[in-house]
Amino acid sequence: MTKCPLCGGKTFKTICEFKGIPVFQNKVYPTEKEAKKAITGDVVLMQCCVCGFVFNREFNDQLMNYNSMYQNEQAHSEYFKSYLLEVIKLLKSEGFLSGKIVEIGCGKGSFLELLLQDGRDAIGFDPAYEGKNSRIIKDYFSDSYKMIKADAIILRHTLEHIQEPLNFLHAIGTANGYRGKIYIEVPCFDWIRRKNSFWDIYHEHCNYFTIETLKAMFTESSVGRLFGDQYLYLIAEFKDLKSCAEPKGHCSIFTDSLFAGELVRYKKFVLANQDVMVWGAGAKGVTFVNLIDPDRLFIRGLLDINPKKQNRYVAKTAHKIYGLNVLGNEKVKAVLVMNENYFDEISNMLSNREIALYALGVL
């Protein structure tokens, strides 16, 4: 890219580079052979020196084919379910859930199902949807659906996948006549930077937002943090969407040695604890094993409570994904928990086993 996708600035600084990582962290494969052939790409994170926005210069949207192999469902966790209910409570308090609601990028439909259970008039869009709910359309939202005329648009963990986020929001606005409200939720780059969580950097996430860069797209909005500060949210009126995200004042420029120390530290940890497994075969876990154990020499595998992932293999490294029953047969001394938010929940599941638990970002 030759200009910032947010403000159009042309001065950048490289802050992070990862070569040859899976394009899709959330696709799982039925065999080792297929997993090893998974498509890979590069991440070169650039920060705009004008507005501070962070994006992946090497993102290739031609590789992004979302289908039924894409398994990003997290609602098997009680902690995650409670977070989804927290979002609904927030939206209610903001008067957001009246009228017709459209969720764009609804995934496997967990959040939309909760909206429907709450009596809301909601429709979802996602080409990777696998279920049979007639309220979810297996397609990308576009102006071909402009007859819907939504009163509220929900974008939960969608905008970080879109190469031109401001243009994408205008496309939605055009299709919906710039009416109603919008709720946007994205990962928080400030949290990623503070935790040095290199396992949160993915090829499919081409954008990394801070509070400042998220707010920059609207003239008026309310913003906040969710999920232990890992997520940012914004609520705004579509009529307040800007044509260009002009920077406001000085922006902080991040160091160009992001994550280097943590990569070394975790490689040393895995070398010293070779009877270890990783909890969570989602994007964090897959990124972690690809960067720390690319040749599958030390980490025994990944644990996941999602049955659609179990007995399958992660992209490129082909580490196997297991259910909890494997812990009775394998010699496992330690488990690395990819997301500290789930530490207590996982600790309760493993309370009767003599296994050490370590949370990334806290270890």
In the chain, DSSP assigns E strands to 12-22, 28-29, 40-48, 54-56, 100-104, 121-125, 136-137, 152-156, 181-187, 207-208, 222-226, 231-237, 276-279, 299-303, 313-314, 321-322, 334-337, 356-359
Q: How buried is 2 (Cβ within 10 angstroms: 0-12 exposed, 13-18 middle, 19+ buried)?
A: exposed
- pLDDT for the residue numbered 146: 81
In this structure, are 101 and 183 located in the same domain? yes
Q: Examine residue 245 and state whether it is found in any structural domain, yes or no.
A: no
Residue 99 and residue 236 in one domain: yes
pLDDT, one tens digit per residue, over 117-164 is: 999 999 999 987 888 999 999 998 888 888 888 999 999 999 999 999
Contact partners, residue 333, CB within 8 Å, separation at least 6 = 273, 275, 276, 355, 356
Q: What is the domain range of residue 233?
A: 78-240
| Among 240, 268, 296, residue at a domain's last position | 240
pLDDT value of residue 217? 95
Q: What is the pLDDT of residues 67-95, one digit of tens each?
A: 555 655 555 688 999 999 999 999 999 98
pLDDT tens, 254-311? Answer: 777 788 889 999 999 999 887 899 999 989 999 999 999 999 999 999 999 999 899 9
> Contact at 8 Å (CB) between 285 and 342?
no
pLDDT value of position 37: 95
Check whether residue 85 and residue 227 sit in a common domain.
Answer: yes
Domain count of the fold of the chain = 3
Q: Does 130 share its domain with 222? A: yes
Q: CATH number, domain at 88?
A: 3.40.50.150
- Distance (Å, rounded) from C-alpha 253 to C-alpha 202? 21
Using pLDDT thresholds of 50, 70 and 90, give the confidence band for residue 326. confident
Q: pTM for the full model?
A: 0.91
Q: Are 326 and 303 in contact (CB under 8 A)?
A: yes
Q: Are 7 and 51 in contact (CB under 8 A)?
A: yes
Query: Whose CA is closest to 28, among 361, 283, 353?
Result: 283
Q: Which of 53-62, 72-81, 177-186, 342-351 has the weakest average pLDDT? A: 72-81
Residues 310 and 275 in one domain: yes
What's the pLDDT at 4? Answer: 92
* Closest-CA residue to 246 (of 210, 223, 207, 217): 217
Same domain assignment for residues 187 and 284: no
Nearest CA among 169, 143, 175 for reference residue 155: 169
> Can you tell me the distance from the alpha carbon of 341 to that of 282, in angstroms, rounded to the nearest whole number?
14
Interval 306-316: pLDDT, tens: 998 999 999 99
Query: Which stretches within the chain are classed as H helix?
Result: 32-36, 78-93, 110-117, 165-175, 189-195, 211-215, 260-272, 283-292, 343-349
The SS3 assignment for 337 reads strand
Q: Tell me: do 105 and 224 sit in the same domain.
A: yes
Segment 11-33 shows an average pLDDT of 92
What H or E segment, with its residue span, contains residue 149?
A: none
CATH of the domain at 267: 3.40.50.720
* Residues 190, 267 within the same domain: no
| Statement: residue 107 has pLDDT above 90 | no
Write the burial class of residue 91 (CB in 10 Å: 0-12 exposed, 13-18 middle, 19+ buried). Answer: buried
CB 278 within 8 A of CB 299: yes
Q: Confirm whether 124 is domain-assigned.
A: yes
Question: Quick check: is 254 in a domain?
Answer: no
Percent of all residues in the chain with a pLDDT value above 90, rounded to a whole number: 69
Residue 320: strand pairing partners: 313
pLDDT band at 253 (very low <50, low <70, confident <90, very high): confident
Confidence of residue 191 (pLDDT cuts 50, 70, 90): very high
Tokens of 313: 């293999």
pLDDT at site 71: 55
